[in-house]
Structure 1
Amino acid sequence: MSTQQSIINHIADVWLDGDADGLDAQVPITELNIVDSAGIFDLVHYLQETFRVTVPLHEITPANFRTVEAITGLVERLRKAGAVR
């Protein structure tokens, strides 16, 4: 399973009662209140545990968590930068 699909599935399971219909990589999850600001920290924990990356505090920004595409990009950047656990 791809990183992007894994994140979509997690968001659907936790915040949408398992229903991923209409949820794709470009849906603005924070603007549509699918994931609120507190939920972002749950997502950070999920990313760190699932993808074995360390998400520095300065990377926890609205831009990095606006869409699944942005979150996937963050994970890939962290992997390339060697921020793995």
Structure 2
Amino acid sequence: MIRQAPRLGGHRLDCFDTVLPTLYAYAGFVAVARLAWNDDYAPDNWDYHQGGRFNGGRPDVVFMAYDPTMAEACIRQGRGSTPTTTT
């Protein structure tokens, strides 16, 4: 499904820094920015225990853009989920 998104005009996305940034990198998306977790904006009923292995249940939000050439280079270098800019 994520590989279909760019074909339909989806060229940006954001996700929690769990397993998703790496999966999205394989679909041609590259991390461009990151926002640190803020408990004040946690989704309703957020389960900190379930996501405990990701920054203690407080994963950053990663912003990604479709750039298959850059994503491929990042994956080859082992940086599939590393953003180039931080906020």
- TM-score of the superposed pair, with normalisation by structure 1: 0.30
Higher Rg = 2
Higher normalized contact order (CA 8 Å, seq sep 6+, divided by chain length): 2
- TM-score of the superposed pair, with normalisation by structure 2: 0.29
Q: Which has the higher strand share?
A: 2
